Amino acid sequence: MGTSLLLANSYHENSIVVEENERRRILMQDKYAVDQFSVVYFRFNNLDLFAARIIKKDGSTEEVSLKDAARVSNIKEVPADFTGYTDYKASASYQPIYFKVAIPNMEVGDVLEYEFFHTNTQVYFGQVNYKEFDPVYYLCNRSMPVEKQVIEISTDNKNFVGYRAMRGAGQFEAKDNGDKKTYRWVDQHRDKLKDTRYLNEYVELPAIKFQVIYASNRKQDFIWFKNQDELNRPVTKEELTEKVKLFWYEMDGLNNMSLYTEGISKSPGTLIKNMYNRMKENGSAEAKEEDYVRNVYYMIRSYTLRSGWHDFVFAQIMSGMMAKRNIAHDIVVTTSNNRTNIQDLAFNREIIWGIRFNNKYYFNPNDHLNPGEIPSYLAGNECLTFPAADSKSKAAVKYDIVPGGDTSTNKFAYQLKVTLDTSLTAFNIQKEVEITGACKEGSIDEILAGTAFLETDVKNYGGSSMWDYEPKNQQEKLQEEWAAQKKEWKEEKPKQMQALAESEYSREVKKYDQFRLLQDGRAFKKMPLKYSEQFSLDETVAKAGDDLIVDLPLLIGTQTQLKKEERTRMAPINFGLPRTLSWTITLAIPVGYTLADTDNLNQQVSNETGSFISKATIAGNLLTIEVSKQYKGKFFELSQWSNAMQFIDAAYNFSQSKIILKKQ
């Protein structure tokens, strides 16, 4: 693989425009490469460009026609190789449009060459004296061997480009061209990624990260480092303390000036005043301290749900609302453990801000978090804390660990009642699911999509109806539109859940009968996410003479199958978070049949890294299988890989096993 990335930056009074041009040449060395790149993807925007061609083994070229391209229905389908590093991330409020087109005649030995041009603009409001883009993170090793890769950043001299090369990545070379400056990074001869599973790649692998920042002279103190030499070394705790306190207490100098106020249309001070007045109107402003703080958090969530806030804005407004009642609290500073740790901080925007009150942590709720819930990307992180009311004392700053949760708090629990259909070829399934802790974050968006969970959201912060704060002369129209939306969801939601079931079990769903949201997981007293569904799963029973071969163990879902090359590992193990998955599967054995054997249903593997345990019992005509799979920690050293493989293999082997019902 060869890669070239060009970032051109232009400055305007109220915006930064980034033009990203990427070009890749990929040699198809084997069938795996052909399969991986047999479909190309491109973003559709009136300023975007895309072109691709195949260079055949004989040197001839074939242009890839885009006329038969099909729109991508799920943005998660688009591989990272076809997205820009400066593109806006997909969210509930922004879904980029992508198309895909197949390349039917590509062969081993061919070269795929493609290029795309993306324009991304960050708009600022007010008198902007400080501007920055999100950091770009670039891994040196890719899914295929890399012959050469180049990153070039062109910007004017008003901008500062900071970067940090990590774990053996090369340095940028800067060159002045009059009123322009060019930063060029060249990297060559990288092996393909050998470990791709259970890997925290941005923390473990060679990588370069960089960011473009504009600051007027009086805002220079908001740049972490004054020069590149300072940026290249780890930040000390003393330096971090000084920088974060400066940034926190100088918020007035940044109001309406940067991405740190994104998502809000008013100044933080004005928004705090308006929110507090609303709480006085509904009577929640005088609640006990803990109840008041909880109501504030849920009111903030009603805003972040509609327009995402930066973590800094969240923490400033949460802190400001607590100051209204003189409630003592701490400011929390940490990082996303998917990107960096505190020692490797290089940019302001790598910081995650939060609040601590009564030993409970409050982080940006985004769409669905409850008070005290910790996202997986923050769980177990080192953090810095300081009292919100103390702007001077360095001694008040402390280092701590964000709670990480464990196998008792992070859980998936599945209950499945199964009967065979009349043709004895499919399962009729009644399924109930409960998800708790950080496990919710990977499921809650899909489960709540197409449901009316917003109808009860306002009750979390003292309101009575979702229409409480809407203009009275618009409420009737809004209610009609909401009713029409719910009617549409009622038709679409079963289709979405059917697709999820087919993906989970790798079988066709013959008929999807019902989905019910039992608990949305967004209320303090009802934090677990709960739902039930009923459907028929095809191709789960086969006949062998008069006997039935039943795929009952597949109902624990798709399990990881470790390939031969994955069994030799070079990197530490990252399971994401400690968690427990449990299944209670009950099968009503049809009249006239008996279970041949249960030995293969009773498994027990347990060690320091995890466990897989299953037990089968029979009572009358009911076969019940209790299954538990645990990831006992988040991070393990490489030396534990042989232990980890034991429970991973046990889960996969169980999922592939069968039971035999013998004809009596």
Residue 391 above 80 pLDDT?
A: no
Q: Which residues pair with 165 in a beta bridge?
A: 208
* DSSP H stretches of helix in 199-267: 201-204, 228-231, 237-249
Residue 51: how many CA atoms within 13 Å on its side-chain side?
Answer: 5
Q: What is the mean pLDDT of residues 256-278?
A: 78
pLDDT per position as a tens digit, 363-387: 999 999 999 999 999 999 999 999 9
For residue 123, the tally of other CB atoms under 10 A from its CB is 11
The DSSP call for residue 597 is -
pLDDT per position as a tens digit, 508-520: 999 999 999 999 9
The DSSP call for residue 599 is G
3, 24 contact by CB (below 8 A): yes
The pLDDT of residue 406 is 95
- Most confident of the ranges 411-415, 477-481, 503-507: 411-415
Torsion (CA) 371, 376, 377, 378 in degrees, nearest 10? 50
Amino acid at 300: I
The pLDDT of residue 447 is 94
545, 605 contact by CB (below 8 A): no
Higher pLDDT: 336 or 158? It is 336
Which pTM does this prediction carry?
A: 0.87
Strands (E), 321-439: 330-335, 351-357, 360-363, 382-387, 398-401, 411-420, 427-436
The CATH class that applies to domain 2-219 reads: mainly beta
Higher pLDDT: 59 or 122? It is 59
The two beta strands, 579-588 and 622-631, are antiparallel
Helix (H, G, I), strand (E, B) or coil at 33: helix
Can you say whether residue 359 is alpha, beta or left, with left for phi > 0 and alpha for psi between -120 and 50 degrees?
Answer: left
Q: What are phi and psi of 206, to 5 degrees?
A: -60, 135
Q: What are phi and psi of 433, to 5 degrees?
A: -125, 135
Residue 443's contacts (CB-CB under 8 Å, 6 or more residues apart) are: 435, 529
Distances (CA, A) of 637 to 126, 180, 572, 608, 641: 50, 46, 5, 11, 8
The pLDDT of residue 218 is 46
What's the pLDDT band for 214 if we cut at 50, 70, 90? low
Q: Exposed, middle or buried, 354 (CB in 10 Å: 0-12/13-18/19+)? A: buried
Domain with CATH 2.60.40.3140 in the chain: 2-219
Q: Which residues pair with 583 in a beta bridge?
A: 414, 627
335, 313 contact by CB (below 8 A): no
Q: What is the mean pLDDT of residues 399-413?
A: 95
pLDDT per position as a tens digit, 536-595: 999 999 999 999 999 999 999 999 999 999 999 999 999 999 999 999 999 999 999 999
Tokens of 393: 């004392």
Amino acid at 307: S
pLDDT per position as a tens digit, 417-445: 999 999 999 999 999 999 999 999 999 99
Of 53-57, 161-165, 278-282, 481-485, the one with minimum mean pLDDT is 161-165
648, 560 contact by CB (below 8 A): yes
Residue 389 above 70 pLDDT?
A: yes
Q: Which of 253, 267, 274, 251 is CA-nearest to residue 331?
A: 251
Amino acid at 127: Q
The pLDDT of residue 395 is 63
Q: What are phi and psi of 273, to 5 degrees?
A: -60, -45
402, 374 contact by CB (below 8 A): yes
Residue 219 above 90 pLDDT?
A: no
Of 241-255, 323-337, 620-634, the one with minimum mean pLDDT is 241-255
Residue 625 above 60 pLDDT?
A: yes
Task: Specify whether domain 411-425+540-663 bears CATH 2.60.120.1130.
Answer: yes
Q: What is the mean pLDDT of residues 454-471?
A: 82
The pLDDT of residue 458 is 85
Q: What is the mean pLDDT of residues 392-406?
A: 83
Mean pLDDT computed over every residue of the chain: 88
Write the DSSP assignment of 430-444 as a string of letters: EEEEEEEGGGGGGTH
467, 454 contact by CB (below 8 A): no
Q: Exposed, middle or buried, 283 (CB in 10 Å: 0-12/13-18/19+)? A: exposed
For residue 481, the tally of other CB atoms under 10 A from its CB is 10
What's the pLDDT band for 160 if we cut at 50, 70, 90? confident
For residue 493, the tally of other CB atoms under 10 A from its CB is 18
Higher pLDDT: 223 or 294? It is 294
Of 171-180, 316-325, 381-390, the one with minimum mean pLDDT is 171-180
The pLDDT of residue 93 is 57
Q: What are phi and psi of 559, to 5 degrees?
A: -110, 155
The pLDDT of residue 84 is 87
Q: Sheet containing 360-363: which strands, arranged edge to edge?
A: 360-363, 351-357, 330-335, 382-387, 398-401
Higher pLDDT: 120 or 94? It is 120
160, 376 contact by CB (below 8 A): no
Residues 500-514: b if buried by 16+ CB within 10 A, e if exposed: bbbeebebebbebee
- Kind and range of the H or E element at 174? strand 173-177
444, 521 contact by CB (below 8 A): yes
Q: What is the mean pLDDT of residues 15-44?
A: 87
pLDDT-above-90 percentage for the chain = 58
Residue 599 above 70 pLDDT?
A: yes
Domain with CATH 2.60.120.1130 in the chain: 411-425+540-663
pLDDT per position as a tens digit, 63-115: 999 999 999 988 888 988 899 888 877 765 577 899 999 998 899 999 999 99
